[in-house]
Structure formats: C-alpha cells, structure tokens
Amino acid sequence: MRALAVAVAAGVGATLTIAVTPAAAAGTPHIRAGETVPVYSYENAVRESVWVQTTLDNDLDGVPDRVAVDIVRPREAADRRIKVPVVLEASPYYSCCGRGNESELKEYDANGTITKQPLFYDNFFVPRGYAFVAADLAGTGRSTGCMDVGGREEVLSAKAVVDWLNGRGRATYADGTPAVATGWTNGRTGMIGKSWDGSVANGVAATGVEGLETIVPISAISSWYDYQRYNGVLRAEDYPGYLHEVVNGRPEGVCAATLKELDEGSDDATGNYNGYWAERDFRRDAHKVHASVLVAHGLNDTNVTTTQFAEWWDRLNVPKKIWLPQQGHVDPFDIRRAEWVETLHKWFDRWLQGLRNGIEREPQATIETAPGTWVNERTWPAAAARTTKVALGNGNGTTGTLGGRPGSGFRTWTDAPDLSEAAAVANPAGAVPGRVAFLSGPLAQGVRISGTPSVSLRVQVDRPTTELTARLVDYGTATRVNYQARGEGITTLTTESCWGASTTADDACYRDTAENVVTSDHAILARGWQDAAHRVSLRFVTPLQPGRWYTVTVPMQATDQRIAAGHVLGLILQASDNEYSTPQSTGATIRLDLRGSSLQLPLVGRLPAPSATTPSVSTAPSANRSAPQRFQPLLP
C-alpha cells in the first residue's frame, strides 16, 4: 500500500528516519517517485509555540486578541533551508474536550513547550516534509479574545494564522520576541478538522484568504443557522451560549459582552434568519473559495446533519472530492482507516506539495452503500438521479399510497408533541394518533435516492403556525450500520494500529475500530422539519390564517441510500418532534389535501404503481433507542 506500510509499522516510541541518498538530497529529500516519504525525524522535530495577533479586540481589553499556535515541523528541512507546507487544524477543543475517538488533549512540558498534539496528523505528515500547526481559536485554550461561536472573531482568528504563515501577520514567542514563519514554510496551507474544527476550515476558505490551498472539512458546518435551527424550528434553547460556555477558556466575566451578543443575536423567540446568522453562513461566500475541498460526512449524522455538506458542496466551483460513509458523526479515520489515510496523504501531496499524482482525475465520490461495501462514482449526487414527483394517494383511507395518481381525499391529524420517532414510523398500516403514513407498493426492482428530497404539503391549519416533520423510511429487513447506538456506527476495539512516527510523549497509535451493524426491519432514510410560519422566508414570520389553504415545503436531509427489491418506501408526516428539536407545540390540527401535495425524490429507478391493498409491513422497536427525551444540546 505505497509508503503507508512504512508508517503503519512504526510503533510507540519509534522514529521514522530514512537515510537520504545523495541523489535525493540534491533535490527534495522527502519526495520520491511522485509522493512524500518519511525521511525526517519526528523525535527531533522543532516544537514551538507562538501567539499570532488578530485584527480584533472582542474581549475589550484594549489590545488585539492573540491566537495561541503550537507547531511541530521537521528540523532537518529547516537546517537545509527547505521550506515546507502546513497542515493546520484550528479548534476550540484542545483544552476542554479533546479530539478524536480517544478525546486527546494538547500536552506541554514544564517550560510550556508542546509535547503532544492530538490526532495522527503531526506523527504522519511531519516526517514527510510537512509542518503541523494546531491553533487554539480565540477565547479558548491559551488564546485571548472571546469565542463568538461561528462568528467573525472565530473565523478571523484562524485566518490570522494563515496570514502569518504567508508573511502577512505578526506573532511573538512567549517572551515577546518576534516570530517569523517565512523562514521555514512556503505558506501553502491545508486546513483539516472534524465537526467544529472543519466548520472553521469552511469559514476561513469562504474569506478567500491567499495561501489556503485546500481544506478537509469532516462532519462540518457550513451554516450555523441550519445547525441550530431547522427552517425556523428551534433545535435547543440558548444553544450558542451553551457552546460558548463549554469551550470558553477565559476568566469569568471577561466575555460577558460576547455572551450577551450571542443570546440576543441568535433570537430564539422568533427563529428568524437575521444578520447574526448571515455572519455565520459560509455558503453565501462559497464563490470566494479557491481552495480545493475534500469533504467527508456520515450519511446518518444526526448531529451535524447532511444538509451542511450538501448545500456547501453544491455551491463549490473548485476541485473537490467527497467521502460518504453510513455512520453518524464519525471521522473516516475510525471507519476505513487505511484507505482514508492513503487518500488524505495523496490529497495533501497534490495540493500542498504540488505533486501531479492524478487524484483530481479519480472518481469524485466514495460512498458506502451497505456495511463494508464501498463504491467509487464519477460525481455526487448520482448522475442518473432525476427529481421525481411522487403523488400522495388516498389508499384505504387510513394509510395512503406513494406513486401513481394523486388522491382526491384528505388526511387530518393533531399535533402530538410526545409522539416519538419510533412510534411514528412503526406499524405504518395502522392508525397512530399524531401521524399520517403513506406507503409505496413493494419494489419490483431496487431504487436509489441520491440527493436532497422534499415534500410539498397543501395544508389547512387551525393555528397561526405549526411545526411539520417528515420522515422517509425504508421498510424491509436488511443488515445496516447501527448509527443510533453508542459510537454512532463504530465499536472501539482493544487492539491498536500506528499511523506515523512516535515519541514517548506522543505516540501515533490508536485503538482500532469495527463497524457496528444490526439487522433491522426498517430504517429512516431522511428527516426534515419546517415551521409553517417561515414558509415564505426564514427572515420573517408569516402567520397562517385558520381555514385558509397554504402550500408548505418541508426540505429533508440529503442522503444517498439504496432500497432493495421487495422493500416498501414510506413517508411519515407529523407535527412537532421532541427528539430532534425543542418543539414549540401549538396543539394545531392539520388538514392535508392529497391532490395538492407530493413528495419530490432525487431518484435512480422507478417506484411501482400503488398496490390494490396496503402492503403488509411489520416493525419492531429498535433495541438501541432509549425512550424519547427532549432534545439536549450537542457539541458540533
């Protein structure tokens, strides 16, 4: 497996140092046969900390805020005056919460020198002629300023590091002496990170900053509004303030003004998209992105939902590549480790080292279609997917149909805020208060949903608003990734594998993982939520008048799923949802006009005509779901 086998063999305490031949030394020692190889000593690497000055002062102390930056770089390259590119991870988690499956934190010696960086990036890439730079976002770790949760301070504090690496900014060492990066780096920077860290990479790329050549956002946010709101539906109360408090590294009271701005700006009372959220919407500036982008996102991520990558991906006009596993909020390093490291190595070699290795000509999408089954495809969504309008039919008067001709009847239900997802999708052929169900006929041939579904509902509501929830369900027995269990689709094992060089303080070895799979009789394919009063615009509320008919579209989460022959596709509609949001239930009664309603599917294949009789579908409660609870805030 190319040079990767050498890295895997390096155990705890090992140092990968390969003698440089005179021929290699005449050129660039860490480049051989079109790829970077581990020739530099990790144990002897330069380890240092600097504080990069930003342009902001949001802790209001009268001096520019400073970002703490910890650096590991190859000493031999610096001695030979070989300038190296940078892998940068900017994170709020280095001191409070840790990174990776094993929640690693930064560690320092008695003199404050970095001895351990989380994750394998420094262990693997520093011997291969890269520097690894880990920045504490403003207001976290050893940085000053105040964390503004996706806002200007957060993004510009990370951008300031890229500027400094390219000779456009100022930094000092702990003793106040100037720190200059241009003596050891060529400024070519790639940002990487999972969750919040990847979100920062998206935000910095959207500034168009010069020197940022590539980003690798993993399970990352592209719009903080869509992370904390679902089309006007409140996900959790005071969510920005909660996130700020979790990662805050400043003394009590220092960031009170910022905390107040987060509370007022996020505007829980209305759920509106306003200037606060626009500042945190990186998609608006996707046209400024010139960095290449390697996206990785779990298709069943219910924390940072799939809209985050799909909306971002659609707007990018740069070289790009995507990995879509079936897990939830999980790093691909813990899903398909060897293949992911190889891909990442090749990606950084191409865009940071400038090696023409052809990765941009490889298939764009790598998708897990079933546990352990992966395919490579030319594009995402699937080139063969076509938006298909699927009619809602009357069926037997209780359970409606999907496909065929539109129905002429109505369905009526009343908001049941305590109705769990498990109860809502169970027994779709029966009557369940608070939900309505529609089923296709059994599939004669398998189909694929690839892209972003939505459902258009013509409704009459007896309140000024209501929340509307839609779920697409695959009814049929299959072995599936168990993303709703602890670990979100992976099980951590007791064995380890090593991915780079090690020191006694920072080894490159991580617990192996295995996919957690389960045989189940149904699976949720996509979910969607919409506040009806935000049907016209997310920027303002437009109340409904009782007795009038309105068309409300409920966008659903992007997905890529295969539905096997013999299975049945279901659409489940309800009002508020107390598991994935903090519902503001109005107790509304909703009347649905079937003729004016439809499901829009990005479909490969065809749904069959509805059955003359309602399909026989049995479901059992998932053994891995607890009783429904009010949504609790998550860390992105």
**How confident is the model over 123-160, as pLDDT tens digits?**
999 999 999 999 999 999 999 999 999 999 999 999 99
- Answer whether 18's CB lies under 8 Å from 24's CB: no
Catalytic residue among 329, 345, 522, 567: 329
DSSP letter at 505 equals S
- The answer to whether 526 and 471 are in contact (CB under 8 A) is yes
Assign 621 a pLDDT band (cuts: 50, 70, 90). Answer: low
Measured at the CA of 102, the angle between CA 47 and CA 228, to 5 degrees, comes to 100
> Structure tokens of 147?
């964390």
pLDDT on residue 559: 98
Task: Say whether both 436 and 337 belong to one domain.
Answer: no
For residue 599, pLDDT over 60 is answered with: yes
The CA distances from residue 599 to 286, 362, 381, 613, 631, in Å, are 29, 34, 18, 21, 27
Percent with pLDDT over 90 in the chain: 89
Is pLDDT above 70 for 181? yes
Whether residue 294 is contained in a domain is answered as yes
144 part of a folded domain: yes
What distance in Å separates the CA atoms of residue 289 and residue 205, rounded to the nearest whole number? 5
Residue 3 has pLDDT above 70, yes or no: no
- CATH number for 584: 2.60.120.260
Q: What are phi and psi of 244, to 5 degrees?
A: -55, -45
pLDDT over 50 at 616, yes or no: yes
433 and 300, same structural domain? no
The domain total for the chain is 2
Q: From CA 149, how far away is CA 163, in angstroms rounded?
A: 21
Q: Establish if 629 belongs to a structural domain.
A: no
- The confidence band for 632, taking pLDDT boundaries of 50, 70 and 90, is low
pLDDT per position as a tens digit, 99-128: 999 999 999 999 999 999 999 999 999 999
Quick one: average pLDDT of 160-174? 97
Do 198 and 80 lie in a common domain? yes
Q: At 617, is the pLDDT very low, low, confident or very high (cuts 50, 70, 90)?
A: confident
* pLDDT interval class at 25 (50, 70, 90): very low
The whole-number pLDDT of residue 22 equals: 34
Better-scored residue on pLDDT, 626 or 264: 264
What are the C-alpha distances in Å from 402 to residues 426, 441, 450, 521, 550? 17, 8, 18, 20, 21
Q: What is the pLDDT of residues 306-345, one digit of tens each?
A: 999 999 999 999 999 999 999 999 999 999 999 999 999 9
**Average pLDDT score over residue span 75-91:** 97
Say if residue 372 is in the same domain as residue 407: no
User: Considering the domain boundaries, does residue 452 fall inside one?
Assistant: yes
The answer on 214 and 129 residing in a single domain is yes
Where do we find the tokens 């009590």?
A: 252
- Under the banding of pLDDT at 50, 70 and 90, the label for residue 26 is very low
List CB contacts of 633: < 8 A, sequence separation 6 or more. Answer: 236, 239, 242, 243
Q: Which amino acid is at 35?
A: E
- Could you tell me if 350 and 424 lie in one domain? no
Same domain, 198 and 179: yes
Q: Does 481 score more than 80 pLDDT?
A: yes
Q: Which of 195, 219, 223, 502 is catalytic?
A: 195
Which pLDDT score, from 0 to 100, does residue 636 have?
A: 86
**pTM for this predicted structure:** 0.93
Listing DSSP states for 103-133 in one string gives: TB--EE-TTS-EEE-SSSHHHHHGGGT-EEE
Structural domain of 523: 386-482+517-604
475 pLDDT more than 70: yes
| pLDDT score for 60 | 95
CA 205 vs. chain centroid, Å, equals 16
Classify residue 455: in a domain, yes or no. Answer: yes
**If you average pLDDT over residues 158-167, what whole number do you get?**
98
- Mean of pLDDT values over 283-303: 98
Indicate the pLDDT class of residue 634, thresholds 50, 70 and 90: confident
| 143 annotated active-site | no
172 and 315 both lie in a single domain: yes
pLDDT of residue 161: 98
Can you tell me the mean pLDDT for 277-293? Answer: 98
Q: Residue 615 domain-assigned? A: no
Query: Residue type at 15?
Result: T
Q: What pLDDT does 540 receive? A: 97
**Confidence label for 4 from pLDDT (cuts 50, 70 and 90):** very low
The 3-state secondary structure of 348-403, one letter per residue: HHHHCCCCCCCHHHCCCEEEEEECCEEEEECCCCCCCCEEEEEEEECCCCCEEEEC
Concatenated DSSP letters of 602-635: EEES-PPPPPSS---------TT--S--------
Give the span between the Cα atoms of 263 and 295, in whole angstroms.
Answer: 31
Q: Which of 301, 331, 334, 531 is catalytic?
A: 301
CATH number at residue 69: 3.40.50.1820
What pLDDT, on a 0 to 100 scale, did the predictor assign at position 174? 95
Which tens digits make up the pLDDT trace of 205-219?
A: 999 999 999 999 999
- Are residues 352 and 427 part of one domain? no
CB environment 376-387: b (16+ within 10 A), e (fewer): ebeebbbeebee
Same domain, 317 and 419: no
Please say which residue of 377, 406, 435 terminates a domain: 377
**Is residue 213 situated within a structural domain?**
yes
- Residues 373-402 have pLDDT tens digits of 999 999 999 999 999 999 999 999 999 999
Side-chain half-sphere CA neighbours of 499 within 13 A = 21
Q: Does the pLDDT value for residue 96 go beyond 50?
A: yes
Q: Which helix (H) or strand (E) holds 70?
A: strand 66-73
Query: pLDDT value at position 635?
Result: 83
Token pair for residue 393?
């039919």
Q: What's the confidence (pLDDT) of residue 8?
A: 35
What's the pLDDT score for residue 555? 98
pLDDT, the chain, mean: 93
Peptide bond into 325 cis (omega under 30): no
Average pLDDT of the residues in 483-496: 97
- Is 226 one of the catalytic residues? no
Whole-number pLDDT of residue 13: 34
Say whether pLDDT at 489 is over 90: yes
Give the end of a domain, one of 355, 377, 399. Answer: 377
State pLDDT tens for residues 498-515.
999 999 999 999 999 999
96 found inside a domain: yes
Whether 420 and 373 share a structural domain: no
Task: Give the model's pLDDT for residue 622.
Answer: 52
The pLDDT, as a whole number, for residue 523 is: 97
The mean pLDDT value for 583-592 works out to: 91
Percent of the chain with pLDDT over 70: 94
Instruction: Report the distance separating Cα 137 and Cα 60, nearest Å.
Output: 17
Q: Which pLDDT score, from 0 to 100, does residue 30 have? A: 97
**DSSP of 551-593, one letter per residue?**
EEEEEB--EEEEE-TT-EEEEEEES--TTTS-------EEEEE
Residue with tokens 């608003």: 465
| Chosen domain end from 315, 346, 377 | 377
Question: Please, are residues 573 and 415 in contact by the beta-carbon 8 Å criterion?
Answer: no
Pairing type for strands 292-296 and 447-451 reads: unpaired
Q: Annotated catalytic, 454?
A: no
* Residues 369, 445 share a domain: no
